[in-house]
Structure 1
């Protein structure tokens, strides 16, 4: 007999199985190395989902990922098209059937104003769908007990200081410190 695919819309699919309820405290660790708007949301949303399920969460921001927690940049993250081979704009479907699924070439991002337009569009879609801004998600993570960490090497390299970071940042730590904090955790690199 052929095995059927799981039904993701079935409520029973998402129920936590009984053995999982008796596991030790779960831990998740996210490493954010990119500071683009579309790279900030996956880690922040998954962190909130994990915290909702009582999972310990630590997020380590390194290299350009520090833009997500740096006061000067966190409210103006950009969405760039360069290097994004799966970029398409569903909005184009309104103008001509089939255009919404067409992929835009990454070189389209080199056109003057393309990053500004893409960032504006992404922010509009986030707002339209009720998805909070990055700052609000960071505040929610901290309020729920999650920890935000800056990478010491990158902070030193970029000549940043803790007072330049979002108020909820737990501290600036080394990579070995984060490895200790993430022991026995599921590690997700974004």
Structure 2
């Protein structure tokens, strides 16, 4: 007898870099394509993905990122983050992966829930007007758990 199929996923996006945001967006998009209910919970620097003034300026983290296979000294050189970001965006474009603002809108249009973490919003002095219109609400961790009930929680 096979395992029960996944019916719902709630994905936590906590990092504000390209490599921290895209995995959650790709997983949410894939879930919706498979008919799985999906909710995205943006917290800490992950809020940048839904922040009106920041979502178009997200970069690759080149310092302290072991996946870059660069010495910290090299990763910290001026222009390295911009170069790595340009290269990654070019490759993603070739693979038809949309830029973050477009991807967020596309995922919201599929019926996925997009939520901002109240504690992080308060900590950074933000409010509802700072976020893209696709954000359904600013919720507490307890409310997130209510949304996630009965499903899988994925932390990217």
Q: Could you say which TM-score interval applies, normalised by the shorter chain?
A: over 0.9
Q: Which region of structure 1 is more displaced relative to structure 2, 140-149 or 77-86?
A: 77-86
Q: Distance in 2 between matches of 1:185 and 1:25?
A: 7
Shift of 1:29: 0.6
RMSD, matched Cα: 1.7
1:73 aligns with 2:39: no
| Alignment counterpart, residue 117 of structure 1, candidates 77, 83, 87 | 83
* Aligned 1:119-158 pairs, distance under 5 A: 119-158=85-124
1:26 aligns with 2:7: yes
Which secondary structure does the structure 1 equivalent of 2:73 belong to?
Answer: helix
TM-score by length of 1: 0.77
Shift of 1:129: 2.3
Q: Which runs of 5+ in 2 are unaligned?
A: none
Question: Do the aligned partners of 2:41 and 2:117 also contact (CA within 8 Å) in 1?
Answer: yes
| Alignment counterpart, residue 18 of structure 2, candidates 10, 19, 37 | 37
- Aligned residue pairs, count: 156
> 1:117-172 deviations in whole A, cap 9, x for unaligned?
11111112112222111111111111111000000111111111111101100100
**Could you tell me which residue of structure 1 aligns to residue 43 of structure 2?**
62
**Using CA pairs below 8 Å that are at least 6 residues apart, which structure has the higher relative contact order?**
2
Whose Rg is larger?
Answer: 1
Q: Which runs of 5+ in 1 are unaligned?
A: 1-17, 88-102
TM-score by length of 2: 0.93
